[in-house]
Chains A and B, each alone.
Chain A
Amino acid sequence: MICLGCASAPGGGQVKVHRYPLWFLEQGKLGGGYAVGYSRAYARRDTAVAEALRDAAWRMARSRKVYIEAEQGFTEDALGKHFQGERYRILVDTSLVEATARGLEPLDVAEVGNMLIVLAGTEPPPAGYEMRVPVPSSAPSWTTKPPKRPGWVYAVGVAPRYFYLQNSWRYAEEDAYLELARMVGLKVWNLRKAREGRSPEGVQMTESRAVLSGAEVVARWEDVKKGVFYVLVRMSFSGGRG
């Protein structure tokens, strides 16, 4: 049996190559004033659209200003580095979310797998961006080499494939925002002890606290074969826009 539009997954099974709206894959090209919101594709479509619209309002508020606090801890011994856990908070002004939600309209709605996504904004997107396209099979260069542009900082977030597609994209986005916060300011504590005849031991801890203003999603890509989701975000630090 041949599955058209499928790719082989890491486990050997077949995974469907989804068709996404262009505004989802290349959100950064739309310019400001747009937000993408996620939801599960519930049986009742209006419920899913309403949830995705609220999510879009939260993401739009987050791109205006967000406070991020993140910590990670590692230990090290003869067997290597071990993750000891992390905690983080992403705080957005909730009153701003309410106010933003009131002015947003669902400009386009797409069901991709078990996920529903909404493009929200006040004006229709530029022509051609509502087109549904399959994810490019070759990796965009930013997945391995984040762009470098004067006045901007870029970060890439990744996430594995989860059962609910929107979770993969949400976590990848979150990962990118956390990375952006680490770029803005990071405190590193590192203790390494090495005694003669014994393998080195160590403890590492990182902590970041940052206020990100104007951080936005630029692009998304799904590596269908490996089951990895990538999101590219950027933030201007010179007051300019793309």
Chain B
Amino acid sequence: MKGLYWTAGLLAVGFLVLSCGGGPPQEVGESPCPEWFSNPPQDPDFLYATATAVSRDLQLALNKAKTEARAELASQLEVRMQGLRKKFDEEVGLGEDAQLLSMYTQATKEVISQVMVGSRIVKQYTKKEGMGWRACVLMELPIGAANKALVDRIKANEQMYTRFRASQTFKELEEEVKKFEEYKKQQGM
């Protein structure tokens, strides 16, 4: 009888051990993102950046990945501008010292401040990972002629707003608001 208990106990433990580690085996070094993540397209009219992020919240995972990709695009733009500046420096003969200085700074601290127009998601991918979510994004930024239509449209919007601010109607509104505010002050409102 005692032997039977031992056998049953061993079988139960064996079953428990076997049932652990279920699911398909994960290859070591397997990318958590689709194939496009490691092979972004090449196009002279666009800058591309990929980024991945994890979070317990799906929206946040996507937000993190998008921001990371946009920061990468901004960095590419900055490098591109630095490249242009370097060329200019070389042309005006400021040459080597300036270049060395910028390389040294980059190694310790990278500061980016860029305004981007037209950065957009080309592909995005989300999947459950443990208790959270993983998001992978491929972002593009049109440069040069490819971005012209959008930039023109935004400029037109800005010009429209500037015209409105400069218009007689807006000035009249401002004056009326000022008067009304003074009236409210006088009335103790």
Most buried by A among B60, B115, B120: B120
- For residue B59, which residues in chain A have a CB less than 8 angstroms away from its CB? 158-160, 171, 175
A103 to B67 CA separation, bound complex (whole angstroms)? 41
Whether A186 and B58, one on each chain, are in contact in the complex, defined by CB atoms closer than 8 angstroms, is no
A-B contact count (CB 8 A): 119
Smallest CB separation, B117 vs chain A (Å): 5
Is A195 engaged at the interface, CB distance under 8 Å to the other chain? Answer: yes
**In chain A, residues 1-45, which have Cβ atoms closer than 8 Å to a Cβ of chain B?**
10
User: Is A138 on the interface with B (CB-CB < 8 A)?
Assistant: no
**Nearest CB of chain A from residue B38's CB, rounded to whole Å:** 17
Q: Is the CB of B71 within 8 A of A188?
A: yes
A173-192 interface mask toward B, CB cutoff 8 Å, 1 = contact, 0 = none? 00100010011111111111
Does A87 have its Cβ within 8 Å of any Cβ on chain B?
Answer: no
Quick one: given A74-B67, A81-B68, are A190 and B120 in contact (CB under 8 Å)?
Answer: no
Complex Cα distance A204/B53, Å? 14
Known contacts: A146-B121, A153-B150, A237-B149. The answer to whether A211 contacts B116 by CB under 8 A is no
State which residues 75-90 of B face A: CB under 8 Å.
75
Within 8 A of B (CB), among A181-225: 182-195, 204, 206, 210-211, 213
- Determine the chain A residues whose CB is within 8 A of the CB of B128 once the complex forms: 10, 226
| Shortest beta-carbon distance from B132 to chain A in Å | 11
> How far does the alpha carbon of A195 sit from the alpha carbon of B110 in the complex, in Å?
12
Kindly state whether residue B165 has any CB partner on chain A within 8 Å. no
Q: How far is the CA of A59 from the CA of B179 in the complex (A)?
A: 34
* Distance between Cα atoms of A183 and B142 in the complex (Å): 11
A156 at interface by CB-CB < 8 Å: yes
Name the residue in B64, B66, B68 with the highest tally of chain A Cβ atoms < 10 Å from its Cβ. Answer: B64
Knowing A83-B63, A145-B122, A206-B67 touch, does A160 contact B110 (C-beta < 8 A)? no
In the complex, besides A189-B112, A194-B110, 11 extra interface pairs with C-beta distance below 8 angstroms are A144-B123, A145-B124, A153-B120, A159-B59, A160-B59, A183-B119, A184-B118, A186-B115, A187-B113, A188-B70, A211-B161
A-B contact pairs, 14 of them (CB 8 A): A81-B68, A146-B121, A151-B149, A158-B126, A160-B58, A175-B59, A182-B70, A184-B117, A184-B150, A188-B115, A188-B116, A193-B110, A204-B68, A228-B126
Shortest 6 CB-CB contacts between residues of A and residues of B: A190-B112, A188-B74, A237-B153, A192-B110, A190-B71, A187-B115
A: residues with CB less than 8 A from B are: 10, 72, 74, 80-81, 83, 144-146, 148, 151, 153-156, 158-160, 171, 175, 179, 182-195, 204, 206, 210-211, 213, 226, 228, 237-238
